[in-house]
Structure 1
Amino acid sequence: MKHIRKLSGLALVTAGAVVLAGCSAGGADEGGGETAELKSLSIMAPYLVTNAPADGNEVQAALEEIAGVGLDITWVPNSSYGDKTNITLAGDDIPQVMVIQGKDPGFVRNAEAGAFWDLTEYLDDYPNLKTTFPEVQQSASVNGKVYGIFRARDVMRTAVIIRKDWLAAVGLDMPETTEDLYEVAKAFTEQDPDGNGVDDTYGLIIPKWPGAIGSNSPYDVIETWFGAGNRWTERDGELVPSFTTDEWLDAVAYEKELVDGGYVNPDYTTFDSAKWNEPFLNGKGGIIVDVHSRAGQLMNLLKESEPDGFDQYVDVAGNMTGPDGELTAHPTTGYSGFLAIPKTNVRTEADLRAVLEVLNKLNSAEAGPVLNNGIEGETFTLDGDLAVAVDDAPQELKDAVLSYSQLGMNVTGFQGYLPKQATEYEQEMYDKRKEIEASDSEHAVYDEAAAYVSETYVSKGAQLDIIISDARIQFIAGQIDLDGLKDAVALWRSSGGDDIITEINELSSQN
């Protein structure tokens, strides 16, 4: 990527006017629609670092040159972004583009009341905004309508992280099925994998999960492997919660077997998730079911404590094939909020198309490396097609890159350079994780109701879901039997769950 020249504010405004002059006030954009003149674009976005980017920084200058307009960005600390969003929408000074961090009730109400542009019929007109991930766009929609350009995240992050040295000690291969995983967990518990002659190890490390049912816990992942779906699934033409299926009951029985056998840390109901790495590092537990980036965390920690032998401990597998012989992989939602366009200051279709043209440029192959990596030669250099971070780059510039990445959409795929790893082993493991990610993505099982917003769920869903997550733990711990677990599902249904199912299916039938 060539180094991008920094423009002055006046030059940027002039460039913007020139670029859009040919498609303003009666001109046409790529999609054939009328486009208004746009000299600057106002945006509200969060920043996750200590300080917001300084005025006139090089990252913004590079983006403005690509976009052809000035970018008037209001940066808001991430910790107060939700409150600021609500305050902004209630006021008169509303930007042309807002980062919306999720489909919370306030956003849904505003969107369905007409406060934001419905982009459903527009995005296909712009090659960089026409997504190659239709399932993710559907999940990010509100009852089938697209009110924002989603900010793509890795669809497939689930991995099984295993003590490689223990696996060699017990003479087993990397697991590929739920049965294999059970056998590895059993061997790690019973066969003294650390060779100290003491019965002091176990297989799976599972923390007390901070979220309720369907919040990507190790339990939720296993249940997807068993064919229960991912939060919601289709059965006989109807969308139903995964926990109403027979496969879910089979999966929870499997989870209970692991606990009953002693193959899970005994404090799984109280163990702090912030300490999840510790038993793996300290030689107490040998398996973690979580996002694959945790493998990188573990390798970095081992590298600090044992720099000469850190490559002996960590290996990674992907999603497990279930008992029916099918690989059903557990994905993320594939997005983290979206860029939405309020109607207050984008009043006409011509105004909308002008904004979309700029966003189309900001999701181009030229803008992607700036948003994801920064400025070549200053925050990164290239080794082949891999980015090498410039360690002595100014901290404020590195922080700016992290802030502007919040504007990254990547709806046609990652638009940047992947990072080069520090050692051959770390590169090998990183490449393996990416290969698993690509392979498992072909078997991703999405939440089939993710697009739909049930009014009953908005008001009661959080409380209802706790009924199920609590009952699941009680069953696994032996505090209730199978009938008690089924009773909890019946309680969920009678307390409002049946209304949620009805509403979700009514919304599904309309789209």
Structure 2
Amino acid sequence: MKKVKKRALVSTVVVSSMLFTVACSSGGESKAPAAGQQGQNQSQNQAPLDLSIAISQVGDIPSKGNPVEQAIEKFTNTKLDIQWIPSSAYNDKINVMLASNEMPKLLRVTQGPTIVNAIESQLFWEIGPYLKEYKNLSAQNPQFFENISVEGKLYGVPLYRNMGRGAVVYRKDWMDNLKLAYPKTVDEWYNVMKALTQNDPDKNGKNDTYGIILHKKYNEGAASMTTRFAVMLGGVNKWGVDKDGNFTPEYTTPEFMETLKLFRRLYAENLMNQDFAVLDAAEAEKWMDTGRVGFRFGVATNGKSQQDRLNKTNPSAVIDVASFEGPKGIRIASENGNNGFFVIPKSSVKTEAEMKRVLGFLDKLMEPEMSTLLLRGIEGTHFGNTADGKTEFIGDGFNIFQREVKPYRDNLTVLEGYNVKPLKDVPIGEKGTKMESDGIKYIVSNPALTLKSPTYSERGQELDLQMMDAQTKFIMGKIDEAGYQEEVNKWKKNGGDKVMAEYKAAYQKLKK
């Protein structure tokens, strides 16, 4: 994990000072300081903590007092009062709670202007200085916490999600048929894409395949195809920052331009779909499901589900997954690392002692007993142990797990691969799960993720759209490199220069 520690992160100095006892491993043992451990042991001798929680409803609401909830209460010494709020109404409900300052003791939120304003209004406990007292929370990679920090301070515990999940899902049987090696350079990617389009990789005698296709959201969001590809080539994740704090957007970097040039060439030579600017993402997925495309960008665990879908129509098809590996080795554009995070409102948790007990609850959820419960279910009901030290779902255990355990798993602090035995699966399933856990060693983070830019808050969507449109025009040959540079210059004049300056100021403020 030393590679992770050495990367330049926005608030490394600040957050690392909070987590000076953190072990960067997601699965290793980590001992908490004696005082913190004593505090947790003492809580077991206290009366159960009445703990109200507001979380998002996932599927049907579990019945009150069900075996899973009872097991959580017993192990954590709590009496839970969970408010399940439908996802469609969740943000509105949270806004009402914030406005009235009437909140439960644990509130699941997502980062955005409303929550940042609430944090800056001191509605929630700052928990960073306390994390070192909790062995499981402090054992997680510091990047999880940096990604939800506000001006270098920490006010929540993330609902952890693997940050290095990104991977390439591809038709290994097609590659084998044409005796092609997995591509790692731009030229190799071009040659493989050309071969999979023109050389009949499925051997059906028809010209009906592509190596890769794009859809209309190919360059949107944290997991955009262009970002993932440029990072693989050695580029930045959305933004780059130099030693002086100067910020550079990805679309002005050489690696990003190499990516655009590759797709421009594929488009010009009819080696990719010509309708990408209007093709829905869902329709794009069907191309691979029906055996018409060889490569897609996704996450490592997509390999198993892709294999299952494809085999319904083609039992002999073989799917594999690979990391984003380029000339500089494996480099994965980091995802945010959370599905929201828990804050502890001061209006409902009034003392430091109670706040520490609430943190203790979240920490205990990551103990082996709770990690196993939330990630595998109840032994004998949902899963069993195997002779080779793994776990497996038994009978109809997986479907029962989806109803009875998944609502808790998706809303509480657990992380696949930490304090839980591996899940026995088909080889591609096990490979994908391991890749997603191991991927954190290769992540490239977005240094601007938690920085404040008033200009971007006000006009970011407009600025992003301008450059996304420019990228599409360039790929389609409607503008050349000079025209693309004109769009970059226009972006700077329309507010991009201000965004870069504001990020620099926010970054340098954190480093002081």
Partner of 1:441: 440
Give the distance between the partners of 2:416 and 2:194, measured in 1 at CA. 43
Question: Please, which runs of 5 or more residues in structure 1 have no aligned partner?
Answer: 1-27, 422-426
8 A Cα contact 1:457 1:500, kept in partner: yes
Residues 1:379 and 2:374 aligned together? no
User: Are 1:131 and 1:137, in contact at CA under 8 Å, matched by a contact in 2?
Assistant: no
TM-superposed deviation, 1:379: 1.9
Amino acid at match of 2:92: D
Q: 1:413 to 1:117 in 2, by over 3 A?
A: farther
Q: Give the alignment's Cα RMSD to 1 decimal.
A: 2.5
Contact (CA 8 Å) 1:59, 1:401: kept in 2 or not?
A: yes
1:91 is aligned, of 67, 88, 100, to 100
User: 1:128–1:364: 8 Å Cα contact kept in structure 2?
Assistant: yes
SS in 2 for 1:198: coil
2:487 is paired with a residue whose SS is helix
CA contact (8 A) 1:133 1:411 kept: no
Aligned to 1:340: 343
Mapped pair 1:53 → 2:59: no
Query: Partner residue of 1:142?
Result: 150
CA displacement at 1:470 relative to structure 2: 1.0
Is contact 1:140-1:146 (8 Å) kept? Answer: yes
Does residue 113 of structure 1 match 2:121? Answer: yes
Q: For residue 480 of structure 1, what is the aligned residue in structure 2?
A: 479
Query: What's the CA shift for 1:395?
Result: 6.5
Aligned to 1:220: 227
Report the count of equivalent residues. 471
Displacement, 1:114?
Answer: 0.4
Shift of 1:335: 1.7
Shift of 1:398: 3.8
Instruction: Give runs of aligned pairs for residues 316-465 of structure 1, distance below 5 A.
Output: 316-322=321-327, 325-383=328-386, 384-392=388-396, 398-410=402-414, 414-421=418-425, 427-437=426-436, 440-465=439-464
Q: Does residue 199 of the first structure (1) align with residue 215 of the second (2)? A: no
Q: SS state of the match for residue 154, structure 1?
A: coil
Q: For 2:454 and 2:417, how far apart are their aligned partners in 1?
A: 33
Aligned equivalents of 1:393 and 1:73: distance in 2?
Answer: 24
Return the alpha-carbon distance in structure 2 between the equivalents of residues 59 and 409 of structure 1.
Answer: 15
The residue number in structure 2 matching 1:40 is 50
- Give distance in 2, aligned partners of 1:438 and 1:163: 23
Question: Do the aligned partners of residues 180 and 442 (structure 1) sit closer, same or farther apart at CA in structure 2, a change above 3 Å counting?
Answer: farther
- SS of the residue corresponding to residue 453 of structure 1 reads coil
Deviation at 1:176, TM superposition (A): 3.5
Q: 1:211 to 1:256 in 2, by over 3 A?
A: closer
Query: What is residue 296 of structure 1 aligned with on the other side?
Result: 304
Q: Distance in 1 between matches of 2:344 and 2:270?
A: 53
Q: Deviations over 1:134-173 (max 9, x none)?
A: 1221112122211110111122222222212211221112
Please state whether the residue corresponding to 2:368 is helix, strand or coil: coil
* TM-score, scaled to structure 1: 0.86
Q: C-alpha displacement at 1:352, in angstroms?
A: 1.3
SS at match of 1:465: helix
TM-superposed deviation, 1:210: 7.1
- Partners of 2:262 and 2:38 in 1: how far apart? 53
Label 1:82 to 1:125 Cα distance change in 2 as closer, same or farther (>3 A).
same
Q: Aligned pair in 2 of structure 1 residues 297, 168: CA closer, same or farther (>3 Å)?
A: same
User: What TM-score, normalized to structure 2?
Assistant: 0.85
Which residue pairs with 1:240 in the alignment?
A: 248
Cα deviation for residue 211 of structure 1 reads: 6.5
- State the partner residue of 1:3: none
Does the aligned pair in 1 maintain the 2:376–2:401 contact within 8 Å?
A: no
Q: 1:275/1:292 Cα in 2 relative to 1: closer, same or farther (>3 Å)?
A: farther
Which of 129, 134, 139 pairs up with 1:126?
A: 134
| Counterpart code for 1:183 | N
- What secondary structure, in the 3-state scheme, does the structure 2 residue paired with 1:155 have? coil
Equivalent residue letter for 1:508: Y
C-alpha separation between the residues in 1 aligned to 2:486 and 2:503? Answer: 23
Q: Shift in Å at residue 465 of structure 1?
A: 0.7
Relative distance call for 1:165 and 1:413 in structure 2 (3 A) is closer
Moved more, 445-454 or 105-114: 445-454
Which residue pairs with 2:499 in the alignment?
Answer: 500
1:64 aligns with 2:63: no
Partner of 2:287: 279
Q: Go from structure 1 to structure 2 and tell me whether the alpha carbon gap of 1:236 and 1:474 turns closer, same or farther (over 3 Å shift).
A: farther
**Unmatched runs of 5 consecutive residues or more in structure 2:** 1-34
Secondary structure, in 3 states, of the residue corresponding to 2:455? helix
Identity among equivalent pairs (%): 30
Aligned to 2:17: none
- Following TM superposition, by how much is the alpha carbon of 1:249 offset from its aligned partner in structure 2, in angstroms? 2.0
Correspondence for 2:27: none
1:314 corresponds to = 319
Question: Which of the numbers 228, 249, 258 marks the counterpart of 1:250?
Answer: 258
What is the CA–CA distance in structure 2 between the aligned matches of 1:122 and 1:112, rounded to whole Å?
19
> Partner amino acid for 2:54?
M
Amino acid in the other structure paired with 2:232: W
CA deviation map 1:370-401 (0-9, x unaligned): 12222111122222443322443596764231
Letter of the aligned partner of 1:224 in structure 2?
V
Question: Aligned-pair distance for 1:63?
Answer: 0.3
Shift of 1:476: 0.5
1-side partners of 2:62 and 2:341: how far apart? 21
Q: Describe the SS at the equivalent of 1:44.
A: strand
In the alignment, residue 339 of structure 2 is paired with which amino acid?
A: S
Deviation at 1:300, TM superposition (A): 1.2
Distance 1:398 1:200 in 2: 38
Contact 1:203–1:265 at 8 Å: present in 2 too?
A: no
- Measured in 2, the distance between the counterparts of 1:265 and 1:145 equals 46
CA contact (8 A) 2:230 2:256 kept: yes
Structure 1 385/460 Cα, relative in aligned 2: closer, same or farther at 3 Å? farther
